[in-house]
A and B are shown apart, each in its own frame.
Chain A
Amino acid sequence: MTSALIAENLTKRYGRRTALSGCTLDIPAGHVVGLVGPNGAGKSTLLQLACGLLEPTAGRLEVLGERPSSGSPRVGFVAQDTPVYGGLTVAEHLRMGAHLNPSWDRPLAERRIAQVGLDPTQKAGKLSGGQRAQLALTVAAAKRPDLLLLDEPVAALDPLARRTFLQSLMELAVEQGMSIVMSSHLVADLERVCDHLIVLVASRVRVAGDVEELLAGHHRLVGPRRDPGELNAGWTVVDESRTDVQSTLVVRSTAPIDDPSWQADRLDLEDIVLAYMSGAAGPARVLEGQR
């Protein structure tokens, strides 16, 4: 499995403030990867470092086997809040893309604009949030990058626009076969499109893996109270809560749970992510309320 992005001890400081400290991770190529974590985890900083917009303070970062630099034709980026030029029309944005990118795929850009129903003569400043995000995605995708990075692209969108946008993203992933890394603090968004998930909390990877494996390998167990030492050695406890008589655990286990004294339930992706964010290795972190 090749890597789209490798970070080793990656650190970014702005003066005294540390935005990312000692982050080590490996993102596989050929996937739609979700990068999830609370605000302040360093997701946005990591993505901006990966597209060369920021320079790391320390550590090593390799994107598609190279040191990232802005202006690379191989990496596309859709920034947070999907900025576009308010004074330029939709068609002029495509023209800009064609002028600035040797690998510009004009038919793809025009097809996508027509598909999402954007009027080419409309000024981008007059577009709705969802339309603007679609325009930014089109410009980034028609560049035909090998790796497309998206920083909270749907955070500001209403549910319908969000669904349409994610649909577009999935189509692109399938049709164009590009690797995609998308950050979000909402698991529900990622669940719909991602096949690989990374949970990042305070610059550290809590869990990373293919979504199917994560779903199959995590269990919620409810049973009589037991101390940690009495548990099956093959289990990794992600989160636990105990009352006087009863234990509730979230465990990771590749083997099926065959101990009949536990009542085992499947977890959905959001439960798993929340368990990692609040559990075991640190103080509870609150996710932002869903919009």
Chain B
Amino acid sequence: MTWLAWRQFRTQAIAGAACLVLLLGAVLLTWQQVSDLATSTGYTGCSGDACLAAAENFADRFQLGLSHHVYLATIGALYLMPALIGVFWGAPVVARELETGTYRMVFSQSVGRGRWLLIKLAIGGLTAALGAGLFSLLLTRWAQRIDSASGDRITPLIFAGRGIVPIGYAALAFVVGVTVGMVLRRTVVAMAVTLLVVAGLQVAAPMVVRPWLAQPITVVKPLDVSKLEGIGMDVDSLQMHLRAEADQPGAWIVANEVVTSTGALFVGPADAETCLPRPGGTGPERCQEWLSTQNLSQKLMYVPGSKFWTLQWREFGLLVVLTLVLTLFSLWWIRRRLV
């Protein structure tokens, strides 16, 4: 059975491996460039306060090089990978057998349906997990200096493309594809639905699931008006929108609001006397003064960068559990509901 599963998976596996080699090649080719840049900007081996400036310099100069394109491409690739795995590897596995009628031949060999599906899932799922793991391992190491210089590896965009989480997404996407294909019985429809489901998961994860997994820290402290990053104001309605500096380097800022003493979001109205710009006026200083008398607070919800691996394991664990649940469901379905 392993032979047949592998034989039928061969073409897709080779196509996937070719894409992987291309990406790995790009990462390996730019490895030296990133290392050199980190050394020449003094970021490698820096210590103390000098690090801040060096990190900024390194991050700025990194944006200009070829390796920055590779960096962006790998982010894109890591988001696309689960969808591609689900659509092209997962969805056809059972759907095509049902469509072409070959399930009637393979199920009349001396192999039970459950075992047949289990081996198909194992081979495809493990290959997907292995490929994603290899890519993520290399990428996480390659991007280590970039991530720590920009302090953003726990932020939603980067988080799903580092560490062990990509393995979970790849395996889950494959099983989603197989299950959707088995239930819908049409390859093309199953591919489209799989794409939607996987994309939906990728959107829902950072917006709904991850904040819940990460248990962000909430801090409310008096607003320091000198740390305001932006003041927005509608001249007619005098509605205000304030944005204060988060001041939590390396953290994922889940929410950052300016609130009134009752805890509600501060929206003005602004004091027309001090805050409206007028010709020959005194500028924003008087408005800031007025704001400081309004008893405002900054409410910050954040996940510190040090929780990166805790969060990685939690999300990975959740994905593995989902994968297993879906596997059990598909095994039940193929025995009881398929035909």
List 6 tightest A-B contacts by C-beta distance, closest first: A79-B104, A77-B108, A100-B109, A71-B112, A73-B110, A83-B101
Q: Which one of B3, B4, B7, B111 lies within 8 Å of A71 (CB-CB)?
A: B111
B86: shortest Cβ distance to chain A, in Å?
Answer: 21
CB-defined contacts of B111 to chain A, threshold 8 Å: 71, 100
Contact with A along B182-218 (1 / 0, CB 8 A): 0000000000000000000000000000000000000
Q: Is the CB–CB distance between A83 and B110 below 8 Å?
A: no
- In the assembled complex, 17 residue pairs joining A and B whose CB atoms fall closer than 8 Å, in A order, are A51-B108, A52-B107, A53-B104, A71-B110, A72-B110, A75-B108, A76-B108, A80-B104, A83-B102, A83-B104, A83-B105, A85-B105, A87-B8, A87-B11, A92-B7, A95-B3, A99-B3
Bound state CA distance, A87 and B102, in angstroms? Answer: 12
CB-defined contacts of B116 to chain A, threshold 8 Å: 71
CB-defined contacts of B11 to chain A, threshold 8 Å: 87
Q: Which one of B7, B109, B339 lies within 8 Å of A97 (CB-CB)?
A: B109
Q: With A71-B113, A88-B8 given, can you name 5 additional A-B contacts, CB distance below 8 Å?
A: A72-B110, A76-B108, A80-B104, A100-B4, A143-B109
Q: Write the residues of chain B forming the contact surface with A, with a CB cutoff of 8 angstroms.
A: 1-4, 7-8, 11, 100-102, 104-113, 115-116, 336, 339
Q: Nearest CB to that of B336 among chain A residues?
A: A55
State the main secondary structure of chain B at its contact with A: helix
CB-defined contacts of A99 to chain B, threshold 8 Å: 1-4
Q: Nearest CB to that of B110 among chain A residues?
A: A73
Q: Is the CB–CB distance between A71 and B104 below 8 Å?
A: no
Q: Is A96 an interface residue (CB 8 A)?
A: yes
Bound state CA distance, A51 and B101, in angstroms? Answer: 15
Q: Is the CB–CB distance between A71 and B105 below 8 Å?
A: no
Q: Nearest CB to that of A135 among chain B residues?
A: B105
Q: Nearest CB to that of B107 among chain A residues?
A: A70
Q: Is the CB–CB distance between A86 and B105 below 8 Å?
A: no
CB-defined contacts of A139 to chain B, threshold 8 Å: 105
Q: Is the CB–CB distance between A70 and B108 below 8 Å?
A: yes
A131: shortest Cβ distance to chain B, in Å?
Answer: 15
A101-B110 contact given A81-B101, A136-B105, CB 8 Å threshold: yes
CB proximity to B under 8 Å, residues A1-55: 48, 51-55
Bound state CA distance, A136 and B109, in angstroms? Answer: 12
A179: shortest Cβ distance to chain B, in Å?
Answer: 16
B143: shortest Cβ distance to chain A, in Å?
Answer: 39
Q: Is A229 an interface residue (CB 8 A)?
A: no
